[in-house]
Structure 1
Amino acid sequence: MSSFWCERAWLPQSGLPAGSGTPVRSGPAPPGSVVESVRVETVEGRIVAVEPGVPASDGDVRLGGLVLPGLANTHSHAFHRALRGRTHADGGSFWTWRDGMYALAAALTPALYERLARAVFAEMVLGGTTAVGEFHYVHHRADGTPHLPAEGGPNAMAEALRTAAREAGVHLTLLDTCYLHGGLGPAGHEPLAPEQVRFGDGTVEAWAHRVDALRAAWADDDRVLVGAAAHSVRAVAPPELAELARWARQAGAPLHVHLSEQPGENEAALAAFGVTPTRLLHDAGALGPGTTAVHAVHLTDDDVALLGASGTGVCLCPTTERDLADGIAPGLRLLRAGSPLSVGTDQHVGADVLAEARGVEEHERLATGRRGSFDPATLIELATSAGHAALGRPDAGRIAVGAPADLVAVRLDTVRTAGIDPAQAALVAGAADVFDVVAAGELVVRDGEHRAGDVARMLTEAMDEIWAAAGPPRA
């Protein structure tokens, strides 16, 4: 048994006064509030007791500041981290940004990916992330052939991610991505381009065969889950979407999909099929409570209604959506329609889940000219319980008996947080203010230092090696 004494902790409550915004909730958990002097006892990575209003004892690990449940990064492409600060020289667009991404993907080997992902996941943990949804589509060798047994077999890249996550101390939901086509034109789906062939499995059946083997191999690992993803309606055709959705339902696995990140995707779907990407997903039976749509920026009123009525979750990534000039997603409209919201760091312009949650409110302010559409309690839900639920971890993201022992201590005495109302920390605090992180009952970060060592050095060394192999990215 381990015990952690929290100076202040964010505990679930049966009720909470509404803030200045509409009191809508994102996830199934009750809203929370700040409670002082809380002892949290854990056994084998689970919380077994929560005692408010008690003094610290000699056997407690003391966590100062405000202790939040572990944060959930619902949408990650770990290898994109190597593009940070390297794609801005010539401006461009989302579509030109992809050129650098393809060059980077071509250079990855299982060993290189493991080193990079270990550093990227450790950076996330430093900022309070205790669970990550890795949208994984770099499956095979650069020429599209499966990795040989000596290289780790067909799931060598997934195994690299699992090893990296375990060493970084983060729970992993691997969203193994079905990616079968290179794009969508007026005549229909196009073949994979040479730079995309390593992403594809040929058919949904072949994808499922590989993923079923992965699920069997990881069945006894309680730190990982295997879910599914359709890259997008550009990469998976309607009959294939239907087949993939059936597989996810039968497997009881979360299903994620990029949706309407750019207007070009909508235009292509309308030209080829006469309907929006959201309607394509609906008609294929791919929407529902087990599905999370990522980005969902360019939606019609009908799209919002379809997503909300089906209970489909939506993961917003505000930092990426700004960086790639995607636009502002209709977050409040989606939440009011019935779609639970979560957040992700996507291409890792930053690795700050609290900043992503705050960005949802900030984007809403820009779109509406009003403050407080999302109150602080809702922002914490976006960053915790709602995100964990989207990753197939519905018991996580709260400091309560039976939940995973994932705790994040946020300092309240930094230059950013000094003097704040702790209940409003979600509107000002970020990754730089996290100084202790407990994941599955293990103290992974203490006083701002990760147990794996110097994360900045790990990142630098991994990216230097990758870019030496890839050559300079095209801006």
Structure 2
Amino acid sequence: MDVSRWVCELAVLPSGEVAREVVVEVADGRFTRVQPGGEVPVGARRLRGLVLPGMADAHSHAFHRALRGRTHAGRGSFWTWREQMYGLAGRLTTETYLPLARAAFAEGVLAGFTSVGEFAYLHHAPDGTRYADPNELGHVLVQAAREAGVRIGLLDTCYLTGGVEPGGHGGTPVPLAGAQARFGDGTADAWAQRVSALASAYADADDVVVGAAIHSVRAVPADALAVVAGWAEDAGAPLHAHVSEQPAENEACHAIHGTTPTQLLYDHGVLSEQFTAVHATHVTPEDRAVLGEARAYVCFCPTTERDLADGIGPVRELLDAGARLTFGSDSRAVVDPFEEARAVELHARLSTLQRGVLGSEELLAGLTVDGHASLGFVDAGRLEAGARADLVALSLGSVRTAGAPADAPVDTALFAASAADVTDVVVDGREVVVDGRHVLGDVAAMLTEAIATAHQEA
């Protein structure tokens, strides 16, 4: 059995204590020893600065990375941005999707993410027909994650309609058109059949969890919600959904169903401890109570939510109700776990006119143990024997972190550091980032080439 060893100058232990000279031993991808002040083994590699548990990007759309710098300026709305996104989605091929996703995931590892929750709704060929293997693009995402050195929670997304209009019982579904034809499986049962085959392919994989996602209540008719929820329950798999990201989504749901998206999901058996409500920006007090009672996760994606003018969600109220916080890069307008975490707190300050709405321990839990658990990796996100061996070393001597008080390094990480301060990343015992460089090489060059190629397909 091969054993790897590191010694951490400072490390955050599960108790929240920051200990010095922490000796870490790893075998078969798991911590076998995490000992503060222990005798340093011969050959152990030193990790300077603050060592954190690996962090989780709990909501990602990898191909959106190709939109950065192209969709942010000028007037518009979420809905006009969506049309630009559809344009890109409509022309990606297997050959262009793989290098784009690989580079996007590698960028995430450089930032300190050791798990990614890929909310994947791109399933079929550009003309909407199925590939010979209906899960070809799912396999592409797994390959991209593995080559980038990150675990993946592959949240295979049910997307059946282009919207629902008032009329009839439960509204009238709008057929998928254009790029959306790539997203749909026709029926929820057909989706379940396809995703079951995908899950079977990775049943023995330690680095892949196949989960489920409901794109939104406008993309999955009410009578199909229970099928998706039932599949996730039977599989013991995580289930995610976009929930109340935009006021227009709530208004349409009220017009058709007479209730909110959260209540509609609850009525059809979707909510549980395995459920993650992504965004939850415009949830009502009643919605917050229902999500909290279910002990659901709520995934905030503040850098995307502010880019798309979504609004500021009621994070404190959701946590007080019993929900659990996670974070996601979403559209990948920014890929930086520290920025996502502090943005939730700073946005809450703007909306409440109070400071310290959330504590550092809550923010760190959302980035680490709860973020991983929401993707099905329940044994990740903490530095202790038996847990997955993820380490993220953060410089405390950069221009951003220099001069901060030595007795509060976690506060420095959350409120001053950036992804650029990550120096080393270990995922399941494997060194993926060393001295700021990814094992794949120049990730910026990879992104440049992949994005240029993706747009040349237009």
TM superposition score normalised by structure 1: 0.93
Letter in structure 2 aligned against 1:423? V
**Do the aligned residues in 1 keep the contact of 2:5 with 2:41 (CA within 8 Å)?**
no
| Inter-partner Cα distance in structure 1 for 2:40 and 2:356 | 36
Q: Distance in 2 between matches of 1:172 and 1:193?
A: 29
Aligned partner of 1:182 among 162, 165, 172: 162
Letter in 2 for 1:6: C
Provide the rounded CA distance (Å) in 2 between the counterparts of 1:248 and 1:165.
22
Judge conservation of contact 1:376–1:427 (CA < 8 Å) in 2: no
| Cα shift at 1:99 | 1.1
- CA deviation profile, 1:200-230 (whole Å, cap 9, x unmatched): 0011111111111111111222111100000
Corresponding position: 1:159 with 2:146? no
> What is the CA distance between 1:55 and its match in structure 2?
5.1
Query: In structure 1, which of residues 433, 446, 449 is the aligned counterpart of residue 434 of structure 2?
Result: 446
Of the candidates 152, 165, 175, which is equivalent to residue 172 of structure 1? 152
Task: Give 1:89 shift.
Answer: 4.3
In angstroms, what is the RMSD of aligned CA positions?
1.0
State the distance in 2 between where 1:366 and 1:201 align: 42
Name which structure has the greater RCO, CA cutoff 8 Å, separation 6+.
1
CA distance in 2, matches of 1:56, 1:99: 56
- Counterparts of 1:14-29 in structure 2 under 5 Å? none
Structure 2 residue aligned with 1:2: 4
Q: 1:134: which partner in 2?
A: 118
SS of 1:327's partner is coil
The answer (yes or no) to whether the contact 1:295–1:314 under 8 Å persists in 2 is yes
Cα distance in 2, alignment partners of residues 350 and 454 from structure 1: 19
Alpha-carbon separation, structure 2, partners of 1:264 and 1:193: 21
1:199 matched residue in structure 2: 183
- Offset of 1:43 from its aligned partner? 0.3
Q: Give, in angstroms, the shift of residue 195 of structure 1.
A: 2.1
In the alignment, which residue of structure 1 is the partner of 2:240? 256
Report the Cα offset of residue 181 of structure 1.
0.6
* SS of equivalent residue, structure 2 residue 119: strand
Structure 1 counterpart of 2:272: 288
Q: Summarize deviations over 1:385-419 as a string: whole Å, max 9, x none.
A: 11001001111100011110000001000000012
The equivalent position to 1:466 in structure 2, one of 449, 454, 458, is 454
Question: What amino acid sits opposite 2:378 in the alignment?
Answer: P
**CA distance in 2: counterparts of 1:218 and 1:273, whole angstroms:** 37
TM, length-normalised to structure 2:
0.96
Q: 1:184, 1:11 → 2: CA distance?
A: 48
Partner of 1:381: 365
- CA distances 1:50-102 after superposition (whole Å, capped 9, x unpaired): 11013544311111100000000000000001001101344200000011101
| 1:242 maps onto 2:230 in alignment | no
Counterpart for residue 378 of structure 2:
394
Q: Which residue of 1 aligns with 2:80?
A: 96
Q: Specify the alignment match of 1:27 in structure 2.
A: none
Supply the AA of the counterpart residue of 1:3.
R
Match of 2:417 among 429, 444, 448: 429
Counterpart contact for 2:90–2:178, Cα < 8 Å: no
Equivalent residues of 1:33, 1:423 under 8 A apart: no
Question: How many angstroms apart in 1 are the aligned matches of 2:197 and 2:58?
Answer: 24
In 2, Cα distance between equivalents of 1:285 and 1:132:
26
Per the alignment, residue 316 of structure 2 pairs with: 332
Where in structure 2 are the equivalents of 1:49-68 lying within 5 Å? Answer: 49-54=33-38, 56-68=40-52
**Contact conserved, 1:178 with 1:236, CA < 8 A, in 2?**
yes
Matching of residue 354 in structure 1 with residue 338 in structure 2: yes
Percent of aligned positions that are identical: 57
What is the Cα deviation at residue 235 of structure 1? 0.5
Deviations 1:219-276 (A, max 9, x none): 2221111000000000011121111111110110000000000001000000001101
Indicate conservation of the 8 Å contact 1:66/1:412, yes or no: yes
- Provide the rounded CA distance (Å) in 2 between the counterparts of 1:52 and 1:166: 32
AA of the residue aligned to 1:127: A
Q: 2:350 aligns with which of 355, 366, 378?
A: 366
| Aligned 8 A contact 2:243 2:262 in 1 | yes
Letter in 2 for 1:166: R
Distance 1:147 1:112 in 2: 15
Please list every run of 5 or more consecutive structure 1 residues that lacks an aligned counterpart in the other structure.
14-31, 471-475
Distance across 2 between alignment mates of 1:142 and 1:57 = 54
Cα distance in 1 for residues equivalent to 2:17 and 2:73 = 44
Counterpart contact for 1:37–1:55, Cα < 8 Å: no
d(CA) in 2 for partners of 1:97 and 1:441?
A: 39
Give the Cα–Cα distance (whole angstroms) in 2 for the partners of residues 302 and 464 of structure 1: 46
Give aligned pairs, total. Answer: 448
**Is the CA contact (8 Å cut-off) linking 1:6 and 1:37 kept in structure 2?**
yes
Does the Cα contact within 8 Å between 2:72 and 2:307 map onto a contact in 1? no
SS in 2 for 1:73: strand
